[in-house]
Amino acid sequence: MKIHEVAGNVMGMLEAFEGSRPAMDTPQMLIVRGMSRKEMQPEELEKVISDVLDEIGARRIEVFSEEAKDVIGVMDENIRGQVEIQGETDIYGIYRLKDSFEAMNCHAEYALGLLDGLAIFMVLWMDKSGFGPKFVEIVVVNLEI
């Protein structure tokens, strides 16, 4: 499956396709950001992510695993190939992501999945009040070079 097709399917399921914008688009990786119009409560974010991964047929990867560490390393390598980033790869930054959103008074959930040689990292976040937009960011990277 191609990276644009997967990203389009995910954004469509989250009702975030309209108005979404690529933050990075290369032959090996696509990062897309948007706002979901899908009705969901803060406590449903994790289930919504799981449902989307199930619907597209992706196998969920435990974020605190060696497999995830390898996948995150490939994602980081692809980003560093396009953008100059100071310092070493910090694979543990992804683990601090949720804490950062919570410090900004947001609920956040994320997951990592694999589908046909592609890695998919998906983040959903929204204000703790439950009002306002629900934000989506997905990263789809081709692991087969």
Q: Would you tell me the crossing angle of helices 45-56 and 3-13 to the nearest 10 degrees?
A: 140
C-alpha span between 71 and 78 (Å, rounded): 11
CA dihedral (85, 90, 95, 99) positive or negative: negative
Q: CA dihedral in degrees (88, 107, 82, 22; nearest 10)?
A: 180
pLDDT at 136: 95
pLDDT at 79: 72
Among 72-76, 79-83, 125-129, the range scoring the smallest mean pLDDT is: 79-83
Give 145's pLDDT tier (boundaries 50, 70, 90).
Answer: low
- How confident is the model over 113-131, as pLDDT tens digits? 999 999 999 999 999 887 7
CB within 8 A of 126, min separation 6: which ones?
42, 45, 106, 107, 132, 133, 134, 135
- How confident is the model over 82-125, as pLDDT tens digits? 666 666 666 667 777 778 888 889 999 999 999 999 999 999 99
The number of beta carbons lying within 10 Å of the beta carbon of residue 121 is 22
- How confident is the model over 16-66, as pLDDT tens digits? 988 889 988 988 889 999 999 998 888 899 999 999 999 999 999 998 888
- The DSSP secondary structure of the chain, one letter per residue, reads --HHHHHHHHHHHTT--TT-EEEEE-SSEEEEEEEE-S---GGGHHHHHHHHHHHHTPEEE-TTSHHHHHHHHHHHHHHHTTS---S---TTHHHHHHHHHHHTTEEEEEEEEEETTEEEEEEEEEETTS-S-EEEEEEEEE---
**1: pLDDT strictly greater than 60:** no
